[in-house]
Structure 1
Amino acid sequence: MAVIWQELLGVERVGRRDNFFALGGHSLLATRLASHIRQQLGVNVALRSLFEHNDLVGQAALVVQTEQGEAIPAIVPVQQEGPLPLSFAQQRLWLLDQIEGGSRHYHMPVVLQLRGELDSVVAQQALQQIVQRHAVLRTRFAMDADGEPYQEVREDAQIILQMEDVQALESDAQASAVRALMASALEQPFDLSQDLMLRVLLIRQSLDEYVLVTNMHHIASDGWSMGVLVKEFVELYRAGVEGIKAELPELTVQYGDYAAWQRDYLQGEVLERQLSYWREQLADAPVLHGLPLDKVRPKQQSFVGRTVQSELGVAQTQGLKQLCQQEGATLFMGLHAVFSALLSRYSNETDIVVGSPVANREQSEVAGLIGFFVNTLVLRSEVSANAGLVDLVRQSKERCLSAYAHQQVPFEKLVDVLQVERSLSHHPLFQVMLVLQNNEVTELTLPGLTLSPMASAEDSAKFDLTLTVQEVNHILQLSWNYNSDLFEAATIVRMAEHFTRLVTEALQAPTTSVHGLELLSGGDMDQFNHWNNTATEHPVASLLHEPFEAMARQYPAAIA
């Protein structure tokens, strides 16, 4: 158990009484911990039990006491040639692509700034090896004679590293050209029936300065996969430059094997057990959130978006993390509690529904694969009148652990089975998303090169509102991505400020009802008082109808 902890947490030594979550563990790592225990020790430990026994000696005792139980079948290579079925998630994206004719809001870009001496031939070879390692990147998605989609791997696919040179341009013109080339590369739609699911563009700005633009389609990728892509490119390029063999793990299965496994496993009694939880959890859930909109919701959902940035300082970040640790909860559970409280305050509703992605890589054999594994969980909270932050963190912990235990049901399947009311104007089941970025961070170092991530313009929004949180240098950076056909920027800026204030106030009084905490700043209160300064003097002796009669006599021709 100690060795598994050291590997997952990246620490050299652990003690018997060390707390897994205090050492940096979170829900995703706890899921991987359960997977490693199952694979290495042959025991099926429930994720909830790892939260309840969170120190090393407790988890070791748990493993000894736990019976082997019913194991999830292993994913194995499919013993057949030719077309394979799509996973449930892939089928939904394929259908959307058929309806929309290619949509760039399902593109997944990674943009890197490179400085130093780049060997473009080695870079091309590294990319080709990645395409060969991950069959999903050279998979085409087509339709059979009955109209059913299937996926087919191309064995001889070749990726081309597209190159553009803007060295000859002046500074301003060069910057403009780089932006235009990036936008063109990231907006170009994928033809799922013919294209590779990875495109790469290299823009040369000077003798030792480049921009590397990569783009994958979501049908073959997810957030975790983007990290795998960068990690493998770094290792393969390094090995190519140094003339040695790359140190990459062997891939025993491919995404098509997972898709076939999912179709075979998620049916009958297994599926019904999982679905029964969601039927009960989401019974009579609100169809649409109650956040006040600045604009009329379009009849057909648009995906035009903008992003506002904010942050929680060191004191607030540490305070929230400490409160979560005291309650045996993760940082995500604390953020979910605060976010639900904010949404409740804004909407004046107590039944709050939020979507959140989960890596859905419970089996260790898929940990190193590029592919569309991520699933979306629907988290429902009851922000009652007397609920304090501590109450909401405890509730969030309970709801999250239950959802994690039933995460195998694909969101697409859930929507179909629950017969959710469909609307072209909004996303089914939820329209607000919460994301905590805690995927493994790859060290961006290459021989003779320094790499740094570049932000690509975020001008789309998959949901009405998405709050993405990432911890950087002991502070929490918050990105508020919103649909600009629904909200004004000023509204989201104000919401971000209120989130920060709510965290501050709730940490100072964690048992006080979140509905009674002050959200408005001094400037907000001044504006509020100014708007409400509507007192007007009236003659004390006047009866209610007499001023009306006086105005009628004064303006007899006016419209009543």
Structure 2
Amino acid sequence: MNTDRVGTYRTGTDDSAPLALSQEHMWESMRFLNPAHPGATFLTMPAANTIRGELRPAALEAALNAVVSRHEELRITLSETGAGARQRVAEHIRVPLAVDELPEDPDQARARAHLLHAAEDDRPFDLVRGPLLRARLLRHSAREHVLLITFQHLLVDGWGLGSFYQALEAAYGDTVTGRAPSLPPLRASYREVAARQWARADFGRAACEAYWREQLDGAPPPLEIPCDRPRTALSGGEYAVRGFAFGQATADLLTSAAWRWRTSPFTVLTAAFNLLLHRLTGTTDVCVGSVRTTRSDPDAAALVGQFTNTVFLRTRFSPADDFAALVGRVSRTVREAYDHDIPYRRLLDLLGLDRSGGHPRPPGDVCQGWLQVNGGGPAPEAASAALPLDGFDTPPDSLPTRLYPAGDDPRRLASFARENPTFEFDADYATGVMQYNTQIFGKETIDHLADQFRRTLTMALNNPGQPISKLKRS
């Protein structure tokens, strides 16, 4: 067992500690995106919510800082940003709430809010000096505001956002009435839970490494799905993010099928993604990359922190399989992969994908596509009447194509979108975004690919007993 990561989790003479398992996963992504200066990568996680009703900014700022005081993971900085990055937890930090006025015209106000939201997303953090979150309140009127909170992804994941807002609403319910925040104490700190995760990873290391050696031995090469331009020179160019919408009816069909098959919507969606790639390329050996939550420790549920890991889901199937059988195959793959969870750094070493210099084989070459579902954390509870938060997301059909230089891409999925687009679904399975390389794909092709995925999923769900080779192409 690696004793450097257990006990109190404070091991350095400078009061620094090793990165948590999930933080190391994020740090490896940052090192890939910017090997020379990983601390300069963005990896921001912006969150925006509309607040309708009377609001007291001073009470909101007090509530925000009460949450920061409660959750040590929100007070983390790095002791340095080299290959041996370590974390520090400050005893106290204050996060100011900046207030900006929006134009009176509703359309202008919304456009300005989206512009400020995008600007926050594109502004990096100083990982050494901190703090690694910032907050802005956009005031449209006395009874309508937009709250922007931006995190460095080392601090929080999709589930953690739910925990954060749950605590923020509860704290504001106290501060707005002049009371001190009365948030219940946490059963364990982030570092304590992280130490347990490293201990479990060390305990089962041999079995996990043996599983992944066998599972990814002879992994299929990258797929060449139909594109607009040759793949001969993939250096340079730009990546782009584009929204898509499957619609609520398709999402309801998906969740109903998952309930009927006693599996998760993600598993069914992954099976449909396998089917899509089969239809596009003819392959029957597909390795899909994804990200999973690592909150199996019951004390992790209430924490805001970063608890994710990259996982590769390799499924072999036959064109004679029907879709229900394919779902069964993917379900087994997902269960086995989760049962053999391995720290991402160790998996890269196991596969010979050391990215410390040169990284001749990007991790995106291990998988033929990337599919993930974001969010899924706890919903706000009793205090929501005091701080009624509504989503402030741009509708996918009006989301602009945003471009990022490929040589210094700030997005963490860039290594996986190098050749084929990635799919990121929202928690409702109805909407999401794709990231793609504009050097080989045009946005019309990306829109068509998203629609092909939707139609493939719908066709398969409506004909689950028919061999996938005979499913009608529409």
TM-score range, shorter chain: 0.7 to 0.9
Contact between 1:88 and 1:413, CA under 8 Å: does it hold in 2?
A: no
Residues of 1 paired with 2:340 and 2:326: CA distance?
21
Q: Deviations over 1:16-49 (max 9, x none)?
A: xxxxxxxxxxxxxxxxxxxxxxxxxxxxxxxxxx
Residues of 1 paired with 2:389 and 2:11: CA distance?
41
Q: Deviations over 1:161-188 (max 9, x none)?
A: 1122235x65565444433332322211
Task: Name the structure 1 match of 2:345.
Answer: 412
Q: Does 1:87 align with 2:46?
A: no
Q: Match for 1:383 among 317, 325, 334? A: 317
Task: Name the structure 2 match of 1:334.
Answer: 268
SS in 2 for 1:242: coil
Q: Deviations over 1:318-368 (max 9, x none)?
A: 555454445433322222111110111112211111122221111111211
Q: Match for 2:149 among 214, 219, 229? A: 214
SS in 2 for 1:414: helix
Q: Does 1:454 align with 2:404?
A: no
Residues of 2 paired with 1:195 and 1:302: CA distance?
32
Contact between 1:185 and 1:201, CA under 8 Å: does it hold in 2?
A: no
Distance change (3 Å), C-alpha of 1:308 and 1:153 = closer
Distance change (3 Å), C-alpha of 1:492 and 1:443 = same
TM-score if structure 2 supplies the norm length?
0.82
Matches within 5 A, 1:26-175: 77-78=8-9, 82-91=15-24, 93-94=26-27, 96=31, 99-100=36-37, 102=39, 106-143=43-80, 148-167=84-103, 173-175=108-110
Residues of 1 paired with 2:39 and 2:72: CA distance?
22
Q: Match for 1:367 among 277, 280, 301? A: 301
Residues of 2 paired with 1:98 and 1:196: CA distance?
23
Q: Deviations over 1:135-161 (max 9, x none)?
A: 1221210239x9622111111311111
Residues of 2 paired with 1:177 and 1:317: CA distance?
31
Task: Name the structure 2 match of 1:284.
Answer: 218
Contact between 1:480 and 1:496, CA under 8 Å: does it hold in 2?
A: no
Residues of 1 paired with 2:36 and 2:24: CA distance?
12
Residues of 2 paired with 1:342 and 1:424: CA distance?
25
Deviation, 1:480, is: 4.2
Q: Does 1:518 align with 2:456?
A: no
Residues of 2 paired with 1:90 and 1:363: CA distance?
16
Structure 1 unaligned blocks of 5 or more: 1-73, 521-560
Deviation, 1:442, is: 2.0
Distance change (3 Å), C-alpha of 1:246 and 1:515 = farther
Residues of 2 paired with 1:372 and 1:341: CA distance?
32
Distance change (3 Å), C-alpha of 1:506 and 1:174 = closer
Residues of 2 paired with 1:147 and 1:341: CA distance?
39
Matches within 5 A, 1:270-309: 270-297=204-231, 299-300=234-235, 304-309=239-244
Deviation, 1:112, is: 0.8
Structure 2 unaligned blocks of 5 or more: 405-410
TM-score if structure 1 supplies the norm length?
0.71
Deviation, 1:206, is: 2.1
Deviation, 1:205, is: 1.8
Q: Does 1:232 align with 2:232?
A: no
Residues of 1 paired with 2:344 and 2:68: CA distance?
28
Q: Match for 2:444 among 473, 490, 496? A: 490
Contact between 2:7 and 2:195, CA under 8 Å: does it hold in 1?
A: no
Residues of 2 paired with 1:322 and 1:448: CA distance?
34
Residues of 1 paired with 2:84 and 2:380: CA distance?
42
Distance change (3 Å), C-alpha of 1:250 and 1:495 = same
Q: How many residues are aligned here? A: 439
Contact between 2:322 and 2:468, CA under 8 Å: does it hold in 1?
A: yes
Residues of 1 paired with 2:301 and 2:430: CA distance?
26
Letter in 2 for 1:214: I
Residues of 1 paired with 2:255 and 2:114: CA distance?
39
What is the RMSD of the two structures over their aligned residues, measured on CA atoms?
3.1
Q: Match for 1:395 among 310, 326, 329? A: 329
Matches within 5 A, 1:463-474: 463-464=416-417, 465-470=421-426, 472=428
Residues of 2 paired with 1:411 and 1:135: CA distance?
24
Residues of 2 paired with 1:301 and 1:90: CA distance?
28
Residues of 2 paired with 1:129 and 1:249: CA distance?
12
Deviation, 1:447, is: 4.6
Task: Name the structure 2 match of 1:17.
Answer: none
Residues of 2 paired with 1:103 and 1:303: CA distance?
18
Higher relative contact order, chain-length normalized (CA < 8 Å, sep 6+): 2
SS in 2 for 1:143: coil
Distance change (3 Å), C-alpha of 1:264 and 1:493 = same
Letter in 1 for 2:92: D
Q: Match for 2:455 among 482, 501, 504? A: 501
SS in 2 for 1:219: coil
Residues of 2 paired with 1:492 and 1:357: CA distance?
22
Distance change (3 Å), C-alpha of 1:113 and 1:390 = same
Distance change (3 Å), C-alpha of 1:135 and 1:390 = same
Contact between 2:227 and 2:445, CA under 8 Å: does it hold in 1?
A: no
Residues of 1 paired with 2:194 and 2:259: CA distance?
37
**If you compute each CA radius of gyration, which structure gives the higher value, 1 or 2?**
1
Q: Match for 2:376 among 439, 443, 453? A: 439
SS in 1 for 2:50: strand
Deviation, 1:467, is: 2.7
Task: Name the structure 1 match of 2:407.
Answer: none
Deviation, 1:222, is: 0.9
Distance change (3 Å), C-alpha of 1:359 and 1:425 = closer
Distance change (3 Å), C-alpha of 1:172 and 1:424 = farther
Distance change (3 Å), C-alpha of 1:287 and 1:313 = same
Letter in 2 for 1:418: L
Residues of 2 paired with 1:281 and 1:417: CA distance?
12
Deviation, 1:123, is: 0.7
Q: Match for 1:350 among 284, 304, 309? A: 284
Deviation, 1:313, is: 5.5
Residues of 2 paired with 1:374 and 1:263: CA distance?
13
Task: Name the structure 1 match of 2:132.
Answer: 197
Deviation, 1:243, is: 3.9
